[in-house]
């Protein structure tokens, strides 16, 4: 078990090194020349107006709120899927109770217009 | 095995998978994409570098290696630079749990995690973190819009994909990818779970930001989306991440629904590759056939069609597996 995650850790560390390798190569061999215009932010060729880091209307925030609920639901369903067979019919009724409550939530959000792009 | 041999094995496996994905998925994938798009549009595609243009992507990579690395003055240098590592790394982490085939010694897999499917869901969702970092760190309006759209897309399509994964896990009674492939010895899951397969395919297309869900890098409105400001090799690394993720999704679909390495006569690895490329072809065919969705259609399709259907599919499957089976 611990060995499994040791393998994953090695994969992540060695992998990060391999991804960084081409960056090292370009740092060594790429040409360098600089003039001020080169480091401007691209905005269709005209000087950029203001910053991109401004107040921004994240229109899908309602979706993200519902997403949190459903994603947590899915996390609970993974262990259920593994254990369901051994639990028999009881597991099915448990799933029904669990999903009916969540589906009611989805229907509520739908009726309230949270699933519309405003 | 002593610990240093384990370590050596892990490092060797990592290097093998990384270079394999970089060459087969990214380099050959880009060429395949260009050839298939050319074929669909009655063109010839790349033809001059190497036999039939086979070395085109290699030449492109060598060209990109020599390009200057430009960091915009107003960008956040740390986030801007690290996003380049996060995207391909997250895509490649998926390959830990993909069984490529089987030998007498056991299945060819980097590590058969007992929560393989959950691990895949987690790492494939990590890509969006890198995309958001790139979008935010660039301090470019196009890039920011691309990054935010990517988050909206991930938020919506993660759930139907997760429900499809759970349905398959329920059928096999395990989250290990090898056990799931073995459970398909008699019948491939695509036969018993066609709905889950379609949901997985649609959600996978959305997660890898390909047409008809390519709002993240919609070139006609957002230039190149989140990687507008990236030059040279960093641009190539994003391509590696994107194609690596697409191949990972196709490989996972093969593992979960098409019986993985199983098949008659031919060796298992070959069967895996055949099925993988068949699915890759479907991804590319879809890309060059369908127009792009609008963002409200995209989110609505997931929340109002895919999620209810996936929930219903899960309940029906659970009924047959848990109740009717006894």
User: Model confidence over B114-163: pLDDT tens digits?
Assistant: 888 889 988 888 888 888 888 888 888 888 888 888 888 888 888 899 99
Is this complex scored with an ipTM above 0.90?
no
| Residue A116, in any domain of the structure | no
Query: What CATH number does residue A42 fall under?
Result: 1.20.58
| Residue B154, in any domain of the structure | yes
Q: Could you give the C-alpha distances from B119 to B94, B196, B255, B286, in angstroms and in order?
A: 8, 19, 14, 27
A99/B155 Cβ within 8 A: no
Pull the structure tokens for residue B292. Answer: 């792009």
| Residue A12, in any domain of the structure | yes
B106 SS3 class: strand
pLDDT in tens, chain A (118 residues): 777 787 888 888 888 888 888 888 888 887 888 888 778 788 777 777 777 777 777 777 788 888 888 888 888 888 888 888 887 788 888 888 988 988 898 888 888 877 777 6
* Pairwise CA distance, residues B155 & B83, whole Å: 19
Asked if residue B121 lies in contact with residue B166, where contact means CB atoms within 8 angstroms, the answer is: no
| Residue A13, in any domain of the structure | yes
Reported as a single tens digit per residue, the pLDDT across A22-55 is 888 888 887 888 888 778 788 777 777 777 777 7
Asked if residue B207 lies in contact with residue B124, where contact means CB atoms within 8 angstroms, the answer is: yes
* Pairwise CA distance, residues B316 & B304, whole Å: 19
| Residue B41, in any domain of the structure | no
Residue B326 pLDDT more than 70?
no
Give the closest of B89, B159, B296 to A19, CB-based: B89
* Pairwise CA distance, residues A39 & B72, whole Å: 4
A115/B322 Cβ within 8 A: no
| Residue B260, in any domain of the structure | yes
Pull the structure tokens for residue A2. Answer: 């611990």
Give the closest of A3, A10, A96 to B315, CB-based: A96
B118 SS3 class: helix
| Residue B141, in any domain of the structure | yes
Residue that has been written with the tokens 């990592």 in this structure = B14
| Residue A72, in any domain of the structure | yes
**Structural domain harbouring B318:** 67-324
| Residue B214, in any domain of the structure | yes
| Residue A117, in any domain of the structure | no
Mean pLDDT along residues B186-215? 85
Q: How many domains does chain B have?
A: 1
* Pairwise CA distance, residues A45 & A32, whole Å: 22
Chain B nearest CA to A21, separation (Å): 10
Pull the structure tokens for residue B124. Answer: 């494939």
**Structural domain harbouring A34:** 2-46+57-111
Predicted confidence at residue B199, as pLDDT, reads 92
| Residue B249, in any domain of the structure | yes
Give the closest of B7, B74, B311 to A103, CB-based: B311
Q: How many domains does chain A have?
A: 1
- Orientation of helix B77-93 relative to helix A2-29, angle to 10°: 130
Asked if residue A85 lies in contact with residue B321, where contact means CB atoms within 8 angstroms, the answer is: yes
Predicted confidence at residue B309, as pLDDT, reads 92
Asked if residue B168 lies in contact with residue B190, where contact means CB atoms within 8 angstroms, the answer is: no
Q: Where are the beta strands (DSSP E) in B218-289?
A: none
Asked if residue B226 lies in contact with residue B134, where contact means CB atoms within 8 angstroms, the answer is: yes
Chain B positions in Cβ-Cβ contact with residue A81 (cut-off 8 Å): 166-167, 169-170, 173, 175
The residue among B186 and B84 whose pLDDT is bigger is B84
| Residue B257, in any domain of the structure | yes
Specify burial of residue B205 (Cβ count, 10 A radius: 0-12, 13-18, 19+).
buried
Chain A positions in Cβ-Cβ contact with residue B80 (cut-off 8 Å): none
A89/B contact by beta carbon, under 8 A: yes
Asked if residue A98 lies in contact with residue A76, where contact means CB atoms within 8 angstroms, the answer is: yes
| Residue A51, in any domain of the structure | no
Q: How many CB pairs under 8 A join A and B?
A: 220
* Pairwise CA distance, residues B100 & B270, whole Å: 9
Predicted confidence at residue A118, as pLDDT, reads 65
């Amino acid at each position: 078990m611990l060995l499994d995650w040791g393998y994953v850790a090695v994969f992540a560390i060695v992998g990060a090194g391999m991804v960084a390798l081409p960056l090292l190569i370009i740092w060594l061999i790429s040409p360098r020349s600089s003039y001020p215009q080169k480091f401007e932010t691209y905005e269709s060729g005209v000087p950029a107006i203001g910053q991109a880091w401004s107040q921004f209307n994240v229109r899908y925030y309602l979706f993200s709120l519902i997403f949190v609920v459903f994603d947590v639901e899915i996390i609970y369903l993974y262990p259920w899927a593994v254990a369901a067979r051994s639990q028999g019919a009881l597991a099915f009724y448990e799933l029904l109770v669990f999903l009916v409550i969540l589906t009611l939530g989805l229907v509520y959000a739908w009726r309230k217009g949270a699933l519309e792009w405003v | 095995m002593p610990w240093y041999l384990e370590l050596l094995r892990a490092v060797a496996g990592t290097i093998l998978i990384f270079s394999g994905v970089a060459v087969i998925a990214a380099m050959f994938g880009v060429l395949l994409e260009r050839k298939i798009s050319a074929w669909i549009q009655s063109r010839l595609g790349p033809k001059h570098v190497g036999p039939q243009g086979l070395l085109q992507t290699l030449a492109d990579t060598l060209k990109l290696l020599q390009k200057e690395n430009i960091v915009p003055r107003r960008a956040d240098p740390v986030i801007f630079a690290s996003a380049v590592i996060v995207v391909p790394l997250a895509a490649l982490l998926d390959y830990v749990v993909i069984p490529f085939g089987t030998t007498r010694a056991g299945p060819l897999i980097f590590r058969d995690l007992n929560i393989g499917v959950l691990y895949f869901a987690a790492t494939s969702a990590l890509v969006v973190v890198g995309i958001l970092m790139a979008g935010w760190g660039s301090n470019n309006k196009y890039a920011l819009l691309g990054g935010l759209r990517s988050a909206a897309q991930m938020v919506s399509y993660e759930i139907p994909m997760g429900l499809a994964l759970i349905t398959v896990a329920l059928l096999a009674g395990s989250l290990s990818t090898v056990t799931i492939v073995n459970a398909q010895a008699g019948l491939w899951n695509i036969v018993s779970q066609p709905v889950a397969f379609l949901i997985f395919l649609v959600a996978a297309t959305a997660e890898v930001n390909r047409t008809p869900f390519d709002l993240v890098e919609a070139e006609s409105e957002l230039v190149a989306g989140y990687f507008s400001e990236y030059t040279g090799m960093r641009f190539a690394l994003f391509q590696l991440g994107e194609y690596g993720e697409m191949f990972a999704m196709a490989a996972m679909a093969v593992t979960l629904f098409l019986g993985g390495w199983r098949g008659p006569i031919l060796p298992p690895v070959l069967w895996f590759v055949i099925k993988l490329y068949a699915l890759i072809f479907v991804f590319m065919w879809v890309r060059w056939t369908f127009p792009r969705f609008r963002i409200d259609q995209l989110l609505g399709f997931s929340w109002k069609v895919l999620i209810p259907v996936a929930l219903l599919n899960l309940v029906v499957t659970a009924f047959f597996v848990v109740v009717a089976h006894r």
